[in-house]
Amino acid sequence: MQTTLGSPASEVIELSAYSNESEVRVPQDYLLSPVFAAAKQRGSREVTVRVKIEGEIIERRYTMGGWHPLRPDHPPPALDVRHGRAIFTLISFLDPYQEGRLIKFSFNEFCRRYATTNGGRYARAIKEILADLTDSYIRVVDVKRNEGHTYRLIESLDIMDKPIRKKNAALASSSQRELWFNGCVLSAEFYSLLTRYAELQCLKLKVFTSLSSPLAQAIYLYIPSRAAHHSENDPFEICLSTLLDQVSFPIPKYKSLRHKLFTQNRKSIIKQLDGIETLTGVFRVRLAETVDGSDWKLLAWVEKNPVRAKVNPEKSKLLDAYLKSGRPRELFDRALEIIPSLSDYEAELLEKGGIEVPKCRRFLEMAKALLKEVRFDGLLAEAKADELEGRKAIKSPTHRLIHRIMEAIGAPVGSVKPPGLALR
């Protein structure tokens, strides 16, 4: 399969002098096109990337795994977004003060950065992914010059074997030994890419790894670069069938199933992506039908300098109410790391409840992040019922809803306020 995508006219972002757990410097090609597939691949996959370097348009064709230059009859696994995630995690361990291709890390810490856990199931899966990276090859062809280069991302893994530590373990009396990962050696070709600072871009690693769906991860890697210069009134648009084809994800046959793929489950693809941070702002997404009604399309834009960045949590009434409930400040900060936008359903409840949304949209979105969707929607439903049943508020329906939200946020841990008891 081959995908060809153009490079967006994105602004140049000044990079920090080093990578870390929060942000990593990665080749910009990986963030301009869907280089890493959203689903496991059975064979090699091609993606063509167009990028502007020093005023010249460069077109590169990537072949991502699934073939071996010396053993064509025994191809290794093709690469997908799981492998991209592992590569980005490896880069986060690069020491800015030490030259060389050797990266030192503990396997437990690698698992924590990759999956926030080092549980057995995840550890075994991550080992398989690292093994794939040592055996899989990437071919990059300069289309204009018709010259290609083939290389691996990881040259070797630094592993020690030691006796079983637990003497009462079943394997302690066997000849089997424990394997300890000390780090890895990047290939010379890949390491050279990481030294070309003009061709690198930063990726928010913690935001990327917070996405649980491989499809959401694949979309986050490259759609923000296209949405960077778009706004809510002029969003970047792409049909779901086209998007799924570009990230090499199985395309449901029917329009309704494609919509369901992005909206089903409590933590849907749309909910995972909407409101997360990018380098230039906050990523926003929603779905809309195409003009001819044959498909759904993803609308995406980046909110520049969002209001949330101007909010001082130390003086926030929301924070005061949250702490009053007995919850720690850490949970408050964690809840507001990703602020969701209001759904169509919530917008309808607010409209029928007579709420002045433009004046308090950011407050409502932050409240949704703190209360979670079920409790938040329950309060909106109450506001709608009050308006439809003609129950007058002391000041306005908007003031009444805000008062109820503040009471709900400040309610002591473990208490549940029965509906309808909030002051009007």
Number of H helices, E strands in the chain: 16, 13
Q: What is the pLDDT of residues 52-98, one digit of tens each?
A: 777 788 899 998 888 787 777 777 788 999 999 999 999 998 877 67
For the chain, how many residues are written?
424
Report the distance separating Cα 353 and Cα 262, nearest Å. 28
Whether residue 202 contacts residue 225, with contact meaning beta carbons closer than 8 Å, is answered with no
List pLDDT tens digits, range 325-358: 888 888 888 888 777 778 778 888 888 899 888 7
371-400 confidence digits (pLDDT tens): 888 889 899 999 999 888 888 888 888 999
Distances (CA, A) of 126 to 37, 130, 148: 17, 6, 30
Q: For the stretch 177-199, what's the b/e string if a residue is b when 16 or more beta carbons lie within 10 angstroms of its beta carbon?
A: eeeebebbbbbeebbebbeeeee
H-assigned helices in 48-162: 81-91, 107-115, 120-135
Predicted confidence (pLDDT) at residue 305 exceeds the cutoff of 80: no
**Residues 270-296, mean pLDDT to the nearest whole number:** 91
Model pTM greater than 0.75? no
Question: What is d(CA 115, CA 100) in angstroms, rounded to the nearest whole number?
Answer: 27
Better-scored residue on pLDDT, 3 or 343: 343
Closest CA to 269 of 320, 218, 329: 218
For 117-164, what is each residue's pLDDT tens digit? 666 777 888 888 988 888 888 899 988 888 888 888 888 887 766 665
Alpha-carbon distance of 354 to 367, in angstroms, equals 18
Q: Which amino acid is at 260?
A: K
Digit-coded pLDDT (tens) for 351-376: 889 988 877 888 888 888 888 888 89
List the single range of 44-53, 104-113, 115-124 with lowest mean pLDDT: 115-124
Q: Is the pLDDT of residue 294 over 50?
A: yes
Q: How confident is the model at residue 5 (pLDDT cuts 50, 70, 90)?
A: low
Predicted pLDDT at 196 = 85
Average pLDDT, rounded, for the chain? 82
Tell me, what's the pLDDT at 16? 37
